[in-house]
Amino acid sequence: MEAQAIFDALKGKFGDAVVELQSEGFSPAFVVVAPAAVKEIARFLKDDPALSFDSLMCLSGVDYKEKFAVAYHLHSMKHRHAIGVKAFLPRENPSLPTVDDVWPAANFHEREAFDLFGIAFEGSKDLRRILLPEDWEGHPLRKDYKYPDFYHGIKV
Partner 1 sequence: MVGNADLFVNWARKSSLWYLLFATACCGIELMQAGASRYDMDRFGAVFRATPRQSDLMLVAGTITHKMADRVKRLYEQMPEPKYVIAMGSCANTGGPFYKDSYCVVKGVDLLIPVDVYIPGCPPRPEALIDGIMKLQKIIMQKKNFGAKA
| 3-class state of residue 37 by DSSP | helix
Burial 101-111 (b: 16+ CB within 10 A, else e): ebbeebbebbb
Q: Judged by CB under 8 A, does residue 149 bind partner 1?
A: no
Q: Judged by CB under 8 A, does residue 155 bind partner 1?
A: yes
Q: Judged by CB under 8 A, does residue 132 bind partner 1?
A: yes
Q: Which of residues 54, 79, 140, 142 is near partner 1 by CB under 8 A?
A: 140
Question: Which residues does 24 contact at the CB level (< 8 Å), separation at least 6?
Answer: none
In the bound state with partner 1, the residue whose beta carbon lies nearer, of 44 and 145, is 145
Residue pair 83/108 in contact (Cβ under 8 Å)? The answer is no
Q: Is the peptide bond before 28 cis (omega within 30 degrees of 0)?
A: yes
In the bound state with partner 1, the residue whose beta carbon lies nearer, of 77 and 156, is 156
Name the segment binding partner 1 (CB under 8 A); options: 15-23, 73-81, 105-113, 141-149: 141-149
Q: Given the rule CB under 8 A, which residues bind partner 1?
A: 131-133, 140, 145, 147-148, 151-152, 154-156
